[in-house]
Amino acid sequence: MQDTVVITGKTRRGTAGWGIGARRVDLRVLLAFGAIYFLWGGTFLAIRIAVLQVPPFLTAGMRFFTAGILLHGVMRARGEPRLSWLEWRNTAIIGLCMFVLTYGPLFWAEQFVSSSITSVIEASLPITTITLEVCVFRTQRLQWRAMAGVLLGFFGIVLLLVNNRDQQLAVIPCLVILAAGVAWSFGAVLSGRLRLPRSRPLTAGTEMMLGGAVLLALSASTGELHSPPRMTLSAGVAILYLIVCGSLIAYTAYVWLLGRMSVTRVASHAYINPLVAVGLGYFLAGEVITARTVVAAALVVGSVFLILSRGPPVCDARGPEARTDQ
């Protein structure tokens, strides 16, 4: 059954979206955008709540392995073909970059860094991605808009981290989050160069499953399981939120939107998520938000807007949380 949306006085079939002068908007589109804006934005606070009570690698492993095996299993049950050996190898490489090397350090660092600060740093992912594409892989031309975005975002991160005495930031964990973002960007670029399954949900589920398995093994090898974790109600709810809302509902909405909207429009979550995360951190967790943090966040979000609005997307659409998730 095709969707019908009236845009600027004309009827377009098979396209769910809105435009200037639209008289009717598909409610499913609004709900899907709400999911990737607000559910993903809330993952930063959920991670913070969870890792203050449950070991970080165990938390990350439980989230991604559970969500990944569910998503992988559902897609296989719906008739998606088995992965070839080459596809297994490539999804393992992407899973290592985008889940183990990115979310492992991020979950660890959020023990020491507030969710709002983490979200601002993570918002710089498109900046590192376009830098890799231009300077390392040379798959993109350096345009003035992208260059301005990179410089603006870099200045925002420097403003946030350097000599910020008001918030007394844990600089090393902040740098760990920033460095982990490079691994995510590297994986995002590789996603467009390696042979992966045609089904985005199957690809994402496999990457999450493999990455989650490695994170669980890392948890065991680092001694996190020597004593049973103290799973309080708040930690359990936070982990359940990450699995269901962050990795299943929001990602399903993301893939659904990619089939109906331009990638650039769907990628708008990259500059909405940190705003949601900062607001939730301030109002629900009592996190300190200074004027310097607000200015730094505005600079980073503005830089992401410049990069994502320049034309072609900076991230392959198959990246499982081409946001950040957070």
- Please count the other Cβ atoms lying within 10 Å of the Cβ belonging to residue 288: 13
The helix (H) or strand (E) run that includes residue 288 is: none
CA dist., res. 30 & res. 33, Å (int): 5
> Are the beta carbons of 78 and 318 closer than 8 angstroms?
no
Q: What is the pLDDT along the chain (326 residues), one digit of tens a residue?
A: 434 233 233 333 444 444 444 446 789 999 999 999 999 999 999 999 999 999 999 999 999 999 999 999 999 999 999 999 999 999 999 999 999 999 999 999 999 999 999 999 999 888 888 888 888 877 777 788 888 998 999 999 999 988 777 777 888 999 999 999 999 988 988 888 899 999 999 999 999 999 999 999 999 999 998 888 888 999 999 999 999 999 999 999 998 998 888 777 888 898 899 999 999 999 999 999 999 999 999 999 999 988 887 654 444 433 444 444 45
As for how many domains the chain has, the answer is: 1
Amino acid identity at 149: G
CA dist., res. 108 & res. 292, Å (int): 25
β-pair partners for 64: none
β-pair partners for 7: 10
> Are the beta carbons of 218 and 61 closer than 8 angstroms?
yes
3-state secondary structure 154-198: HHHHHHHHCCCCCCCCCHHHHHHHHHHHHHHHHHHHHHCCCCCCC
pTM for the model stands at 0.85
Q: What is the DSSP string of 289-326?
A: --HHHHHHHHHHHHHHHHHHTSSS-SS-TTSTTTT---
The helix (H) or strand (E) run that includes residue 84 is: none
CA distances from 58 to 101, 138, 252, 261 (A): 14, 37, 24, 36
CA dist., res. 292 & res. 90, Å (int): 41
The answer to the question of residue 324 being in a domain is no
CA dist., res. 292 & res. 321, Å (int): 28
Q: What is the DSSP string of 87-117?
A: HHHHHHHHHIIIIIHHHHHHHHHTTTS-HHH
> Are the beta carbons of 264 and 308 closer than 8 angstroms?
yes
The helix (H) or strand (E) run that includes residue 259 is: none
The answer to the question of residue 318 being in a domain is no
Instruction: Residue count of the chain, please give it.
Output: 326
The answer to the question of residue 277 being in a domain is yes
The answer to the question of residue 242 being in a domain is yes
The answer to the question of residue 317 being in a domain is no
Domain that holds residue 243: 4-308
Closest CA to 274 of 318, 305, 229, 310: 305
